[in-house]
Each structure stands twice: as C-alpha cells, then as structure tokens.
Structure 1
C-alpha cells in the first residue's frame, strides 16, 4: 500500500508513465508496463528496504539498461558482466527476507548468456521481438478492425495509406512564478549593458518596462544531442498553468550552465524547474515617451526564453548504493522570491524526473507519507529529491 502511495505521488516527466492507482491492483501487466515500472521503482524503494536489496535491484537495472545499448564494445560488455556479478553477490537478500524461496529462475539463468550472444549475433535490438509485436498492432490489428472483415487486405492497405498521410493573466500568478518580472527586467538590462542592476535600479526597471506583454507558450519539443548516429532522440518540456479542472504542470530540466558542460554527465549543469516559456516582443515602447520602436536585434538573437527556478547545486558524486544524485530545494532570496534566472531555451539539455525523498526508514511500517503530497504538488512541498537516471535509456546514459 505504501509503495502504491509513493508511486501515485511521483511528479510527471517526459518518457515516464504515471500510475495514478499504483501498481498492485494491475491484473495484467504488459512488457511495456514493466518497462515503465522499472523506470520509477528504485527511487520509490530507497530508505524502505535493506541496503543490499537496493544494490541488487540497482545492479539488475544496470544490466537491463546496458543490454539495450544500440552499440557495444569490450568496455560496455564488461560493464554488463560486472553488474551481473554484483546482482548475484547480493540477490540472497530476497530469499532471506522471504520474498522468494529460491531464485532458480530460467530468465535469471539466461542473463549469463547475454554477453556471449551479443559477441556472436550483435546488439539485442537485432533479434528481439518487441518491435515486431508493436508493429503488428499498427499494421494488422488496427487495420483489420477498421475494415468490414470482407476482402480485408485491400481495405487495410487503403486505411494504412490514409493514416500515413494524416500523420504528416498574468504570468506571475498563473505560473506561480513570483520572481518573473524581476528576472525579466534584469535579463533585458544585462543584454543591453552587460552588467546586473542594483536592487534600487531593479525596482525602477520593473516599473519602466518597454512592453507590457510577452508571448507565452505552455511547452516545447526538441531534439537533444543524439548518443548514436542511428537514433534521433526526442524530448519535451511543459510549463502549463492550471486551467479549469486541469492542474498546473511545471517540468524539471537539466540546464547547461558552465563552459565545461557536455552532452553527457552532470559537470557544468544545474537542475531547474521551468515556470514560464516565452518570447520577447518584436516591437517595444520607449519607457519615457511611449513611442513605438523596434526591439533591439539582440533580443531576437536570444531566441525563445524560459524562466527557471533553480534547485541547489548538485553534489560531486551520486549515492554509491543506488547511483542517483540528491537534489535539494534552494532557499528563498532575502526578498522572499526564489533563486531563478531567465535563460535561452537552447541551454536546456534535457528534461528530467525528480523523485521525492520519502520519509520513513527501513523497518518502519507506520504511515509516513504527508497528506499534501501528490503528483501535482510534490515538487512544491517536498524539499529533497533524487535525480532519476532510470527514467529512460537516454537519461541512463547522460545523468551520471
């Protein structure tokens, strides 16, 4: 029950699935659903099960994610063998805890042959059946259902061809971004003068903005740096205020902040939460005369922008047990506003998921989850998180 409660309150993120009712009540579980479970389970178990159980689960996840690499060399195959050794070294905790009577399971035995199979036959995406099973739904089952079940092949071909042709207020209040005006004024001044405003100058600048509105967007899609030549990655970030019964959603991202930041790893990056996605206007008004003017050329050069509230800087290394980084919420500034900046969208490297650090310790069976924690509020009310590097294959290869 507690695991279900933890899963229900995880924040949404691109590439993950939200199990709104948990997972224990699922009567049938598909292979895809198992993948989505694997992306979130480890973070939900931290602090609630023995350390060597966490190590065993982390090691088997390492093996599974490594086995899905589209390319391999001796180094990555050695990583697989090392991960399997760690799993076998720690797996007895599952028997000792009474999870199972034994671990003599054929699928566990088959893992011993993965490295050998990859050396002989190539990477696993060359000979697994997952892609073909999925395509069978698109190209056979759905086409069959769309027909009248008589002389179906011509009907299915026409249906598939048609499907392919068809495939071609306020910002601070609505977005819960109390520092947006200040950061926008600061950003514009830095563009013009290459230095920051003093607190006194900032008050004046906010009241004399050369425009009174900006174009705001509720999300954007982009292609992060690909890890291989054969696969183009996709990603998406949302910054959507609440509307009617639809709750707000403000995603978390990895941002390039220093000159030493790269496409993989976390050196030179920082974790932030996108509150506003917007674009500066092409036309402005003189703050003194209100005469219409063209906006400075440097504004267009910056491209679309984002107002991002920062989490604290990351530690230098992840936790050695579960290999996830701890992320703390930053304290507020002296004026009560969050630590934030306006950044070009181009500096957002990828989206990410933060799993809250749940209260309670190993062996504590009492209800510990705060009542105000849910999927829509947890990023606001929790203060400590784990950076989920298991959220996708791309996250696994880049968040280390």
Structure 2
C-alpha cells in the first residue's frame, strides 16, 4: 500500500459525525499534532483492509484495541483481561514490522510502558485520574484566560471571581440542556417543504400534499459512562436542495426489534437516512382542514434504505462487521422503511470495500456509498462507537 493509494482511500471516505475528512490525504503532512494522530487512527485501519498482511493488521488492531480499552472511565477484571489480551496479540505479531523493514527495532519507551498499564490501573485507578492532557488544556481556561480577563493588578481575586462566574454559567447551561427533549430538530435552518405532484397524489391516500423536511437532526444517544453526555448528528442533505451543497445521506444503526440494546448489534440493522420529516398538525377533510389523528407520531420520522443484516460475528482480524446493498424490490427501488427517529440509536461510518484493491477514478466522498456494493461498519470511529458497535 503506497502513499498515493492510501491518500486516495482517505479522500473518498464518506463523511460522518465526529470524523475528520482528510481531503488531501496524509502523506503530504509535514508536522502531525497529537489530535491529528487520533483523527487518523479513527479511519486508518479500515483503509488498510485487503492491502497489508494479516499479521500487520493484527498488530495495528491490537494497539488500537489497547488504546481504546485504556481510556475506559471504569474497569473490572473482565476489561483488564481484555487489555491484557490485546497486549499479548500485539507482542505476538509485532515482529512482522521488523521483517518487512517498517521498523529497525521496537525498543521504544512508550511501547514498554504498555506493560505497566494493568498494574497501574489496579493500583491507582483509571487512566483519566493521572493523565495530564486534561490539566494541560485546563491551564489555558483557568490560568491564561483568567489572567487576561483581569486588569493585571491584584489579579488573583479577579481570576477566582472570573472562574467562579464561568462555572455558574456552565452549570446553568447544563441544567437547561437536561430540561430539553432527548431529541430535537436542528433550528439552524428552516424546514423545507416536500411537495407531491398531482400524479403522485393520485396514487396515494395521504390526507396532505406537503411535509416539513429537515436536513439535520441533533440528538443525544444513550450514555455509556455515567455523567458523560454524548451527542450525535444525522444529516440527510440532497445536493440539489441548495446551490453549493453536496449530497450527504448518513448511515445509521437502527433498532429493528425487541432484542436491541444500547450496545451491541443484536436486534439492530444498518441503514442510510434519505429523508427526515415530520407529519403535519392538520390534514385535509371534507369540511376543509381538521386536526391530525392523535395516534400520529409527534417526533421526527426518517425514511431509511436498508443494508443487509449483520453477520453472526465480526471479522476476526480487524473486528469490523460488513454490510452490503440488498437486491432491489420488484419496483426497482432499494428496500426501505419509514421509522420513528427515536429508533435510530446512533450514526456510524461505513468504509467501502474497494474493488480490485484500488480506488476507482470516479469515486468521491459524496458518491462512495452509492457506488460501493460492500462496506465495513467502522467501530474504530471513536470511543463511543468502539463501546457500542460490537
């Protein structure tokens, strides 16, 4: 896998919430920050499928496994055993990097420190208790910004008052968010009306001829860690709806039956959101307009196009599930369904399986999901995806 092919794969990855799109690839980057390395790790493994030996994939995957597991805010004997097994897998396969000439040696202090993680967690608690990254960042908010807000004379009391006021404001904002509904339509853009023409109306029994259609919904998925509020966004944007916009129809995980839970893929199915809309409050009647039926759902609805169901187990090497486009229905359309938006558990990223191991010249980030017939569900897209897509 050369740098040009890797860059091509990164360029055509479809967009997803929380995932950075490397539109120019990564081979041309001269300086890479820690944040950029984390962003690369979220998509890199999926771009290596089919292009590197199995031992190399296991080496990289076990390191990612270890990194994500080490970030857990709580641990027990089971998770620490997972951490140990991930490290064993790394040590078992790491020599391939030396055999292939990728590294001359692996005598690197950071790699050696992995040996002590389990013991340190048992002795001192989870890694967020002694990770300095958070405190380095807070130094900017609680020291630098507070000092700049003062008049630089007898600054300490002023800094303390400034910080106290900001904390009260943050607490009030958090309280307001808790009072809001778990799901809300994004207010940043006005809803567009979806009109049905006369021919389409003649084929339907619907007592209305227009719907409010939205391009984006913000919602809060289930919390995995107590006290850590998650956020998610799903977009369904037709490029023709507004000049200058590009198509984007996000893949999601949909709760399909009663076996579904807040984590795992049992009872769920991958789909692609094509339209987000709400039903009207009033409908046509013989005497003009009347209130909509009481049993109509009040929240947003989504029309989704299904992918094939998940297999019984993820791939043993990269631990990602694969999905494909199902055969079209009798009328030539993809299988789909209208579901309450509350059945959408989370957004996800699908990484395409590239035909013949190369990226076709006409594939772009906007049309990859339309052209690819097989895709991998990227459970490495972040810690939340890692904990829920398995």
Q: Which residue of 1 aligns with 2:134?
A: 131
User: What runs of 5+ residues in structure 1 fail to find an aligned partner?
Assistant: 173-180, 182-202, 362-367
Q: Bigger shift: 138-147 or 46-55?
A: 138-147
Q: Cα distance, 1:342 vs. partner?
A: 0.3
The TM-score normalised by the length of structure 1 is 0.83
CA RMSD of aligned residues (A): 2.6
Kindly tell me the number of residue pairs found equivalent between the two proteins.
Answer: 363
Match of 1:80 in 2: 83
What is the aligned partner in structure 2 of residue 306 from structure 1? 302
Give distance in 2, aligned partners of 1:164 and 1:239: 37
**3-state SS of 2:43 partner:** helix
Contact 2:212 2:280 in 1 (8 A): yes
Counterpart residue number, 1:118: 121
Match of 1:226 in 2: 223
| Cα 1:164–1:384 shift into 2, 3 Å | farther
Q: Could you tell me which runs of 5 or more consecutive residues in structure 2 were left unpaired when the two chains were aligned.
A: 174-191
For 2:112, the equivalent position in structure 1 comes to 109
1:261 paired with 2:251, answer: no
* 1:273-308 deviations in Å (ceiling 9; x for gaps): 11111110010003xx4721111001145x211111
Confirm or deny: 8 A CA contact 2:142 2:163 kept in the other structure. Answer: no
Give the structure 1 partner of residue 211 of structure 2.
214
1:338-349 matches, within 5 Å, as 338-349=334-345
Counterparts in 2 of 1:116 and 1:158: CA distance versus 1, 3 Å = closer
| CA distance in 2: counterparts of 1:274 and 1:111, whole angstroms | 41
SS in 2 for 1:231: coil
Residues 1-400 of structure 1 correspond to what in structure 2 (within 5 A)? Answer: 1-141=4-144, 154=158, 168=173, 171=194, 206-242=203-239, 243-286=242-285, 289=286, 291-300=288-297, 303-361=299-357, 368-400=358-390
Provide TM-score, normalisation by structure 2: 0.85
Task: Provide Cα deviations, 1:240-280, integer angstroms capped at 9, x if missing partner.
Answer: 22222221211110000011111111111100111111110
**Structure 1 residue matching 2:376: 3-state secondary structure:** strand
Higher relative contact order (CA 8 A, sep 6+): 1
Could you tell me how far apart the structure 2 residues matched to 1:250 and 1:94 are?
38
For 2:58 and 2:363, locate their aligned partners in 1 and report how far apart those are by CA, in whole Å. 27
CA contact (8 A) 1:317 1:325 kept: yes
- Give the 4+ runs in structure 1 shifted more than 4 A: 139-172
CA distance in structure 2 between the aligned counterparts of 1:24 and 1:69, rounded to whole angstroms: 31
Task: Give 1:331 deviation, angstroms.
Answer: 2.2
Query: Structure 1: how far apart are the matches of 2:153 and 2:362?
Result: 56
